[in-house]
């Protein structure tokens, strides 16, 4: 159901085809042109389903002073087995509509249509209004009654919206041609008027678009058609845009500005009539060396104030100045505003906005740091600081590796910006989030080729460009370590487990997002920069007390939410049921690159993992290593290369207290060693006093593995599964 749900969520559909206009829209899709498209090629007879026809249609028009955007998807699918019938027996969507661009001007129109064609060619149109059932909030589902093997389901989703704007970039549309089912025919059509720039690229063997003539003088139309597209299972550890045929495009509208100003907003063709299919190195240089962008950089007033307040009088190296400034900006723009944001959403009576206690006057104007809250403004702001302190740097223009290479760039919206600071050992920094540390960049930029634009501090400009590759982190830099102690109570019926978990590198950032809440780090940042928190800014004791009570009550709810989350997390992490748990954060891992996320957890297991065997007990100790990756037969037979986000390692140390009056047998089976060029799993075990001590370590050494070497990775995955099956015997002495 994932594909269907995702498709319909895009459109924010309404649940009926009722008006005459809606009927007219339906006729565009069900005009009879596909009436004879009923059969499938012999080569696909054993497939679960076959897409007979699918069409993606886009329209960008400029009627008067408004912009009208339309999008539709039409699919016709033949169901060949019970699995396909089940897959298409329910549609999910939301009954709402939002305009995401420009200024809302006129109500949009959204239509969904579904019909079933029986093998006898009898057609049944599903009554959306009658069949839709409200699920939760604004979510709906439609059950398709009477669906059978051999049926054809024909559905479309259509939306249109109108709004006002002078200049803006529409979202980049990206589509993979492959689907979970093979496709007989794939049609793409795009209509636009003369006031739109078009950037369009096709990759990995996708068809090129062709411009076709239309009867309207101001209209332009582009199409392509593809046939016999094989299915793809989209396995784990795979980047579709690196290997599969796909296309992407973006339109830029600019009615009231000249061509020079248009170039300020995006990588555009010189002639609006020309389709821009590639962004060259020269285009990138011209964009970022554009007047008033990265020329004559100056330090911003808030960073100048920070330098005087926090850096003056301190003996700091250039590297230390950069580090302190980065963390100040993270706090200045993000974390200091978390408390007032929460207060603003609570039911507190106040004549002032909570943010009024924070806004500062700089240079005669009120500074709202949220205006710095994007990667372009961050890089410009930080570059001004670097330039003022004569610290050499380069601007890096990158694209995440799962989107392909930087040479496949077509839009400024795809760009990821970084700064390479040229110390003796260069460092790479990028836009911060609540948890980021100085050089903790996105793993999706590692080992990618990027454009580098050095800033000339003498000329105060960017005038050169070249390519470099961002280094890739190593597995031991992205690691986790779980230290677990295990003890038994009540004649083995209760198991107490205490863990301490440590994460670093890219594994740290993932866990921070899941585990940390604002109360874990807001005060940490306030103290670091001697910045009063929200309550210290309120002069009225009465008001402060009232706000604090509301705030603390909210904190109690959030802390309970984390406890519930942790219980679910533990139950999903192990192959046994956790009863109780308590978690304590020891270190947020946000202070520097060298700080780790640390937390400890206590939980219990009852009447599980232990089986009585006469006077002895069998202990499924291998399951303490946590749930491991299990692949079915289809997943094991892989024909695609492996793309992991980054190298990484997972280690554990398990210390089991041996109950008095027992000894442990079968320890030797816990020692496993499977290692190759791409991955490894190593476990050891020993008896030391009254403790059984077990260590495990699973390492993914490479982020890319050729499909020919997939079996070597499988060997390691199987070894970790074998460990989880191991048991030891507590034998009565």
pLDDT, one tens digit per residue, over 145-186 is 889 999 999 999 898 888 776 667 889 999 999 999 999 999
Domain boundary (472, 502, 537) is at: 472
Does a structural domain hold residue 306?
A: yes
Is residue 24 within a helix (H) or strand (E), and if so which, with residue range? helix 20-29
Sheet with 103-117: strands ordered across: 123-125, 103-117, 152-164, 67-79, 49-61, 183-193, 219-229, 210-212
pLDDT tens digits, one per residue of 457-470: 999 999 999 999 99
Structure token digits, residue 511: 């866990």
Is residue 375 within a helix (H) or strand (E), and if so which, with residue range? helix 375-388
Is a pLDDT exceeding 60 seen at residue 645?
Answer: yes
Is a pLDDT exceeding 80 seen at residue 3?
Answer: no
**Of the segments 110-124, 129-143, 394-408, which one has the largest average pLDDT value?**
394-408
d(CA 157, CA 114): 9
* pLDDT value at residue 262: 55
**For helices 541-573 and 506-515, angle between their N-to-C axes, nearest 10 degrees:** 120
What average pLDDT does range 475-486 have in this prediction? 97
- What CA–CA distances, in Å, run from 373 to 302, 335, 380? 14, 12, 12
* pLDDT value at residue 369: 56
Domain boundary (472, 503, 537) is at: 472
Pairing mode, if any, of strands 691-700 and 648-657?
A: antiparallel
445, 537: one domain? no
Is a pLDDT exceeding 90 seen at residue 631?
Answer: yes
d(CA 265, CA 539): 45
Better pLDDT: 10 or 82: 82
Nearest CA among 18, 22, 13, 7 for reference residue 139: 13
CB 447 within 8 A of CB 469: yes
386, 515: one domain? no
Q: Where are the beta strands (DSSP E) in 385-441?
A: 393-398, 416-421, 427-430
* pLDDT value at residue 263: 58
Cα 282–Cα 428–Cα 383 angle in degrees, nearest 5: 65
Q: Reduced to 3 DSSP states, what percent helix, strand and coil does the chain have, rounded to the nearest 5? A: 30, 35, 35
513, 392: one domain? no
d(CA 710, CA 246): 25
What average pLDDT does range 285-314 have in this prediction? 84
pLDDT band at 12 (very low <50, low <70, confident <90, very high): very low
Nearest CA among 465, 725, 458 for reference residue 609: 725
pLDDT band at 135 (very low <50, low <70, confident <90, very high): low
d(CA 288, CA 419): 13
Does a structural domain hold residue 696?
A: yes
pLDDT tens digits, one per residue of 356-383: 887 665 444 445 555 567 898 899 999 9
pLDDT tens digits, one per residue of 558-615: 999 999 999 999 999 998 999 889 999 999 999 999 999 999 999 999 999 999 999 9
Is a pLDDT exceeding 60 seen at residue 98?
Answer: no
3-state secondary structure of 362: strand
CB 558 within 8 A of CB 583: no
Is a pLDDT exceeding 90 seen at residue 122?
Answer: yes
Alpha carbon 296 to its chain's center: 36
* pLDDT value at residue 100: 35
Q: Which residues of 456-491 are buried (b: 16+ CB within 10 A; e: fewer)?
A: ebeeebbeebeeeebebbebebbbbbbebbbebeee
617, 698: one domain? yes
480, 465: one domain? no
- What CA–CA distances, in Å, run from 165 to 100, 101, 268, 524? 12, 8, 18, 42
CB 138 within 8 A of CB 96: yes
Does a structural domain hold residue 310?
A: yes
Domain coverage including residue 181: 2-31+40-277
| Range of lowest pLDDT (111-120, 192-201, 257-266, 494-503) | 257-266
What average pLDDT does range 247-251 have in this prediction? 96
Put residue 215 in one of left, alpha, beta given phi > 0 → left and psi -120 to 50 → alpha: alpha
Domain boundary (429, 450, 472) is at: 472
315, 168: one domain? no
535, 466: one domain? no
Is a pLDDT exceeding 70 seen at residue 230?
Answer: yes
CB 111 within 8 A of CB 129: no
What average pLDDT does range 654-675 have in this prediction? 97
* pLDDT value at residue 655: 98
CB 683 within 8 A of CB 698: no
Is a pLDDT exceeding 70 seen at residue 314?
Answer: yes
* pLDDT value at residue 322: 95
Is a pLDDT exceeding 60 seen at residue 300?
Answer: yes
- Beta-carbon count within 10 A of 411 CB: 23
272, 319: one domain? no
pLDDT band at 297 (very low <50, low <70, confident <90, very high): confident
Cα 429–Cα 643–Cα 515 angle in degrees, nearest 5: 55
Structure token digits, residue 297: 């950089």
* pLDDT value at residue 465: 97
d(CA 213, CA 230): 31
CATH code of the domain in which 511 resides: 2.60.120.1130
Better pLDDT: 547 or 262: 547
pLDDT tens digits, one per residue of 22-32: 778 888 889 88
555, 676: one domain? yes
pLDDT band at 270 (very low <50, low <70, confident <90, very high): confident
| Close Cβ partners of 643 (under 8 Å, ≥ 6 residues apart) | 237, 238, 239, 242, 401, 402, 703, 704
Is a pLDDT exceeding 50 seen at residue 690?
Answer: yes
pLDDT band at 14 (very low <50, low <70, confident <90, very high): very low
Q: Could you identify the residue written with the tokens 């289809």?
A: 634
pLDDT band at 56 (very low <50, low <70, confident <90, very high): very high
Q: HSE, CB side, 13 Å, CA atoms: give it for residue 62.
A: 19
Average pLDDT, whole number, for the chain? Answer: 88
- Beta-carbon count within 10 A of 260 CB: 9
Is a pLDDT exceeding 60 seen at residue 2?
Answer: no
* pLDDT value at residue 218: 85
377, 241: one domain? no
* pLDDT value at residue 216: 85
* pLDDT value at residue 25: 83
* pLDDT value at residue 165: 63
464, 485: one domain? no
pLDDT band at 455 (very low <50, low <70, confident <90, very high): very high
What average pLDDT does range 195-219 have in this prediction? 92
Is a pLDDT exceeding 50 seen at residue 103?
Answer: no
pLDDT band at 705 (very low <50, low <70, confident <90, very high): very high
Better pLDDT: 473 or 260: 473
Does a structural domain hold residue 367?
A: no
| Range of lowest pLDDT (97-111, 217-231, 532-546, 637-651) | 97-111
Structure token digits, residue 574: 């192990």
What average pLDDT does range 188-213 have in this prediction? 94
- Beta-carbon count within 10 A of 723 CB: 24
Number of structural domains found in the chain:
3
Does a structural domain hold residue 465?
A: yes
Nearest CA among 281, 512, 496 for reference residue 407: 281
| Range of lowest pLDDT (165-169, 236-240, 511-515, 584-588) | 165-169
Which residues, listed in sequence order, are joined to residue 498 by a DSSP beta bridge? 485, 602
| Range of lowest pLDDT (17-21, 84-88, 498-502, 680-684) | 17-21
Give the whole-number percent of the chain exceeding pLDDT 70.
89
Give pairs for 84-88: CB < 8 Å, separation 24+: 84/48, 84/49, 84/149, 84/181, 85/147, 85/148, 85/149, 85/151, 87/1, 87/4, 87/48, 87/49, 88/4, 88/49, 88/144, 88/147, 88/153
Does a structural domain hold residue 216?
A: yes
Alpha carbon 198 to its chain's center: 27
CB 690 within 8 A of CB 578: no
* pLDDT value at residue 305: 84
CATH code of the domain in which 139 resides: 2.60.40.3140
Does a structural domain hold residue 361?
A: no
* pLDDT value at residue 13: 43
d(CA 590, CA 666): 43
**Of the segments 208-217, 269-278, 587-596, which one has the largest average pLDDT value?**
587-596
* pLDDT value at residue 362: 47
pLDDT band at 732 (very low <50, low <70, confident <90, very high): very high
| Range of lowest pLDDT (197-201, 356-360, 628-632) | 356-360
d(CA 311, CA 574): 48
* pLDDT value at residue 63: 66
Helices (H) and strands (E) in the chain, counts: 17, 37
Better pLDDT: 110 or 724: 724
Dihedral of alpha carbons 305, 308, 310, 316, sign? positive
Is a pLDDT exceeding 60 seen at residue 652?
Answer: yes
Does a structural domain hold residue 258?
A: yes
326, 396: one domain? yes
């Amino acid at each position: 159901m994932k594909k269907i749900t995702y498709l319909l969520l895009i459109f924010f559909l309404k649940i009926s085809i009722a008006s005459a206009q809606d009927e007219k829209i339906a006729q565009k899709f069900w005009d009879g042109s596909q009436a004879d498209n009923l059969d499938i090629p012999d080569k696909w007879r054993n497939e679960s389903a076959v897409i007979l026809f699918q069409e993606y249609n886009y329209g960008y028009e400029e009627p008067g002073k408004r912009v009208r955007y339309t999008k539709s998807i039409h699919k016709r699918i033949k169901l060949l087995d019970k699995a396909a019938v089940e897959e298409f027996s329910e549609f999910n969507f939301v009954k709402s509509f939002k305009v995401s661009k420009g200024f809302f001007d006129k109500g949009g129109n959204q239509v969904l249509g579904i019909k079933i064609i029986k093998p006898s060619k009898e057609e049944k149109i599903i009554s959306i209004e009658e069949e839709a059932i409200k699920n939760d909030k604004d979510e709906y589902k439609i059950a398709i009654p009477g669906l059978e093997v051999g049926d054809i389901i024909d559905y479309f989703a259509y939306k249109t919206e109108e709004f006002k704007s002078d200049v803006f970039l529409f979202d980049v549309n990206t589509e993979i041609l492959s689907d979970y089912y093979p496709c007989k025919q794939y049609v793409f059509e795009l209509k636009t008027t003369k006031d739109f720039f078009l950037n369009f690229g096709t990759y990995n063997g996708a068809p090129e678009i062709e411009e076709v003539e239309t009867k309207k003088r101001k209209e332009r139309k582009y199409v392509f058609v593809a046939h016999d597209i094989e299915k793809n299972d989209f396995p784990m550890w795979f980047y579709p845009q690196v290997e599969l045929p796909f296309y992407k495009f973006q339109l830029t509208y600019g009615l009231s500005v000249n061509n020079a100003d248009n170039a300020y907003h995006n990588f555009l063709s010189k002639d609006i009539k020309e389709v821009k299919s590639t962004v060259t190195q020269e285009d990138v240089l011209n964009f970022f060396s554009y007047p008033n962008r990265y020329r004559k950089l100056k330090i911003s007033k808030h960073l100048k104030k920070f330098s005087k307040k926090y850096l003056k009088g301190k003996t700091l190296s250039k590297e230390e100045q950069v580090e302190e400034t980065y963390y100040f900006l993270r706090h200045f723009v993000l974390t200091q505003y978390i408390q007032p944001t929460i207060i603003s959403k609570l039911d507190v009576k106040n004549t002032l906005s909570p943010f009024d206690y924070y806004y500062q006057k700089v240079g005669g104007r009120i500074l709202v740091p949220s205006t710095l809250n994007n990667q372009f403004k961050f890089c410009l702001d930080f570059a001004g600081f670097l330039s003022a302190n004569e610290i050499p740097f380069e601007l890096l223009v990158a694209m995440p590796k799962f989107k392909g290479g930087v040479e496949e760039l077509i839009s400024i919206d795809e760009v990821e910006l970084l700064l390479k600071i040229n110390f003796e050992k260069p460092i790479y920094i990028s836009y911060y989030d609540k948890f980021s540390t100085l050089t903790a960049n996105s793993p999706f930029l590692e080992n990618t080729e990027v454009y580098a634009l050095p800033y000339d501090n003498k000329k105060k400009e960017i005038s050169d460009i070249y390519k470099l590759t961002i280094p890739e982190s190593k597995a031991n830099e992205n690691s986790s370590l779980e230290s677990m102690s295990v003890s038994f109570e009540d004649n083995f019926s209760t198991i107490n487990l205490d863990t301490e978990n440590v994460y670093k590198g890219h594994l740290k950032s993932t866990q921070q997002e899941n585990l940390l809440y604002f109360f874990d780090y807001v005060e940490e940042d306030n103290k670091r920069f001697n910045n009063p928190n929200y309550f210290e800014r309120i002069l009225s004791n009465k008001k402060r007390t009232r706000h604090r009570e509301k705030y603390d009550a909210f904190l109690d709810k959030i802390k309970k939410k984390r406890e519930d989350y942790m219980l679910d997390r533990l139950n999903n992490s192990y192959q046994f049921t956790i009863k109780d748990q308590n978690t304590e954060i020891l270190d947020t891992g946000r202070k520097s690159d060298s700080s780790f996320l640390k937390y400890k957890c206590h939980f219990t297991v009852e009447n599980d993992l232990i089986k009585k065997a006469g006077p002895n007990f069998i202990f499924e100790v291998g399951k303490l290593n946590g749930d491991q990756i299990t692949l079915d037969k289809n997943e094991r037979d892989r024909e695609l290369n492996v793309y992991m986000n980054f190298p990484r390692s997972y280690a554990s140390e398990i210390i089991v207290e041996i109950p008095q009056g027992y000894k442990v047998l079968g320890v030797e089976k816990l020692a496993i060693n499977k290692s190759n060029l791409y991955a490894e799993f190593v476990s050891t075990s020993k008896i030391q006093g009254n403790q059984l001590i077990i260590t495990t370590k699973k390492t993914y050494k490479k982020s890319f593995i050729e499909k020919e070497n997939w079996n070597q990775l499988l060997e390691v995955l199987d070894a970790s599964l074998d460990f989880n099956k191991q048991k030891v015997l507590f034998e009565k002495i």
